[in-house]
Structure 1
Amino acid sequence: MTVTTRATVPRADPHPTGRHLRPGGRNKTLDRLVGRQPIGIALAAPYVVFLAAVFAYPLGFAVYISFHDYFFAAPGAIVERPFAGFDNYATVLSDPAVRRAFGNVLIFLVINVPLTVVLSLLLANALNAAIRWRTFFRVSYYVPYVTASVAVVGVWLFLFNSNGLVNSVLGPLAPDPSWLVNSSLAMPTVAVYVTWKQLGFFILLYLAALQNVSKDLYEAASMDGAGRWKSFLNVTVPGVRPATTLVVLVATVTGANLFTEPYLLTGGGGPDGASASPVLIMYQRGIEQGNPDIGSAIGVLLVVGVLLLALIERRFVGREED
């Protein structure tokens, strides 16, 4: 019996240069740098330049100012602005008005963010159903968001001043002092106002998210005996979780930058700083009082605080999404 053996010929290396290429001859490292469609880098470049000019450079300059004894000078004047280290931050953290402003914005966020999420999701779910005048209601909720703040503030001042419509309806139950001049109620009133004004924007976000929730899930829940409320909790809420994460983050960032509302509603953060926000204090210290180094230090602390808060929210709100 004769056994025939066949010699094994080593296969040639398809990549003799040692480079690992994707199908079509693409390089993995190049893909990581420019993506699979390099034209996207060119299309995104103008917006990257815009972000660098409008956001990155001002933020970096603010950090620089916060570490120097910085002050305004005449255009073209050459003045010394010595390095101050953490002196500006020590001044900011020892200022009772600044500490109170950060406490005020925390109170604002505790009221505004949950209220925004709950109301916008409930209203979006209602407006997503086949109801009469649906388009009218959608537009009605969005109108306050696009209306100038000065005009809307005038309406709220009429409603919530000492002799306003709300106090007239409440009668003896009306607070004394009134809402916007009450140190305990000023910031909650501002939080409710901001929630109402921005609600239309967040409703639109949830309406867009609801279009991606499969109707088959609702039919399956209905076949299992789930009513509207259980379907809402077990289908709608999990289905719009990515939108909820976005709403929480956007509401937090916009709320932390609160300025116009307390400036207009309470006359600049009154009474006695009860509704002052960090951005309002930053404006007062940096622009009105001519201390841009102190104002920049407040701004840097606010950015760091918002980033930490956003990371915490992203971890807890978006964990099931991951």
Structure 2
Amino acid sequence: MSSRLATAPSPTGSARPAGRRGLLNTVLGKQPIGSAFVTPYLVFLAAIFAYPLGFAVYMSFHDYFFTAPGTVVDRPFVGFDNYVTVLTDPAVRRSFVNVGIFLLINVPLTVVLSLGLANALNAAIRWRTFFRVSYYVPYVAASVAVVGVWLFLFNENGLVNTILGPLAPSPSWLVNSSLAMPTIAIYVTWKQLGFFILLYLAALQNVSKDLYEAASMDGAGRLKSFWNVTVPGVRPATTLVVLVATVTGANLFTEPYLLTGGGGPNGASASPVLVMYQKGIEQGNPDIGSAIGVLLVIGVLLIALIERRFVSRED
């Protein structure tokens, strides 16, 4: 009896320390040292991503405009007026259609080409290291230099039209309202292909060789082994590739800005980010630009969620 009383917790002594420990565990986690190491990155995310996004949402609901530093002006709340302006603007609506066309071409092409080439480069072939480096060089090359090469290839008197001869499109690729965005999509796919090949190469290292041997013993050829072993084995990498390609594609800016002179012809290659720059910076309407940005973030999140659910689902 006395031992039970001696070990019983005191209602005033031990309850508070346990409560404090529970609060600390909730705030800092079970490993406070780990939380301390993560804190600088959380501060970085808050400063670089969270604060600008929150400020953009604030601007999109106000009559916001640029002023001289230190000037105090009234910026009234306007509700959804900026969003109504954005959604009724033909240039903005067309930019979202343009980026949709871009993603429909770029994302599937990126997945198919990067997985196929990674599978080929993962085999024991001659000059394998050379080919791996060759595919990665465009990704790290300066965009201005690579754009110059593509302008030389696809202008009206460029090498591609010279080879095609009478089959060349008229107007030419980058000044053709129907071909400008598909041409940009192919260019971006080619330029970023090396990065996604590396992702797939890393994923292929985790696919067991025993699975290929078992498929071969069952009479499966290379194509069936690729479809039944390789594709399911790199499914997590495919999910990552689709998400990254979607996010980077939705933020398309440099390529149409440089290749088509700012979204030409007549806005056929303008992206939402490019229009956001034109509206917010060049025309001095940051509230309109912020509304475009918020809508773009919401759209990308919805598309990414749908893609993740579709790509990563179990068969």
| TM-fit CA distance, 1:35 | 4.3
Which residue matches 2:254?
Answer: 260
Q: TM-score, normalised by structure 2?
A: 0.93
Q: Which residue of 168, 172, 180 maps to 2:162? A: 168
Q: Would you say 1:218 and 2:212 are equivalent positions? A: yes
Distance 1:216 1:288, change over 3 A: same
| TM-fit CA distance, 1:17 | 8.0
Supply the distance in 2 between the matched residues of 1:219 and 1:230 (Cα, whole angstroms): 12
Which residue matches 1:24?
Answer: none
Supply the distance in 2 between the matched residues of 1:119 and 1:54 (Cα, whole angstroms): 33
Letter aligned with residue 311 of structure 1: L
Supply the distance in 2 between the matched residues of 1:222 and 1:162 (Cα, whole angstroms): 50
Q: Which residue of 52, 55, 58 maps to 1:64? A: 58
Q: Would you say 1:44 and 2:43 are equivalent positions? A: no
Letter aligned with residue 204 of structure 1: L
Letter aligned with residue 222 of structure 1: S
Which residue matches 1:96?
Answer: 90
SS at match of 1:213: coil
More helix by share: 2
Which residue matches 1:242?
Answer: 236
Q: Would you say 1:107 and 2:101 are equivalent positions? A: yes
Q: Would you say 1:290 and 2:295 are equivalent positions? A: no
SS at match of 2:78: coil
| TM-fit CA distance, 1:248 | 0.2
| TM-fit CA distance, 1:39 | 1.6
Segments of 5+ residues of structure 1 without an aligned counterpart are 1-10, 20-26
Q: How many residues align?
A: 306
SS at match of 2:94: helix
Which residue matches 1:206?
Answer: 200
What fraction of aligned residue pairs are identical, expressed as a percent?
84
Q: TM-score, normalised by structure 1?
A: 0.91
Supply the distance in 1 between the matched residues of 2:238 and 2:286 (Cα, whole angstroms): 37
CA RMSD of aligned residues (A): 2.2
Distance 1:40 1:107, change over 3 A: same
Q: Which residue of 164, 184, 197 maps to 2:178? A: 184
| TM-fit CA distance, 1:320 | 1.6
Distance 1:233 1:15, change over 3 A: farther
- Residue deviations 1:62-95 (CA, integer Å, cap 9, x gap): 0000000000000001111111110000000000
Q: Would you say 1:118 and 2:118 are equivalent positions? A: no
Supply the distance in 1 between the matched residues of 2:227 and 2:8 (Cα, whole angstroms): 54
Which residue matches 2:275?
Answer: 281
Supply the distance in 1 between the matched residues of 2:204 and 2:118 (Cα, whole angstroms): 8
Letter aligned with residue 303 of structure 2: L
| TM-fit CA distance, 1:30 | 6.4
Supply the distance in 2 between the matched residues of 1:196 and 1:56 (Cα, whole angstroms): 32
Letter aligned with residue 83 of structure 1: F
Letter aligned with residue 39 of structure 1: I
Which residue matches 2:17?
Answer: none
| TM-fit CA distance, 1:37 | 2.9
Structure (1 or 2) with the larger CA radius of gyration: 1
Supply the distance in 2 between the matched residues of 1:215 and 1:246 (Cα, whole angstroms): 23
- The runs of 4+ residues in structure 1 deviating greater than 2 Å are 14-19, 27-38
Which residue matches 2:309?
Answer: 315
| TM-fit CA distance, 1:319 | 1.4
Supply the distance in 2 between the matched residues of 1:253 and 1:112 (Cα, whole angstroms): 12
Supply the distance in 2 between the matched residues of 1:168 and 1:290 (Cα, whole angstroms): 43
Which residue matches 1:83?
Answer: 77
* 1:300-311 correspondence runs (5 A): 300-311=294-305
Distance 1:218 1:32, change over 3 A: farther
Supply the distance in 2 between the matched residues of 1:306 and 1:15 (Cα, whole angstroms): 56
Supply the distance in 2 between the matched residues of 1:51 and 1:181 (Cα, whole angstroms): 40
Supply the distance in 2 between the matched residues of 1:177 and 1:91 (Cα, whole angstroms): 33
Supply the distance in 2 between the matched residues of 1:227 and 1:247 (Cα, whole angstroms): 26
Distance 1:78 1:235, change over 3 A: same
Letter aligned with residue 225 of structure 2: S
Segments of 5+ residues of structure 2 without an aligned counterpart are 15-20
| TM-fit CA distance, 1:261 | 0.2
Distance 1:15 1:170, change over 3 A: farther
- Residue deviations 1:208-259 (CA, integer Å, cap 9, x gap): 1011111111111111111111110000000000000000000000000000
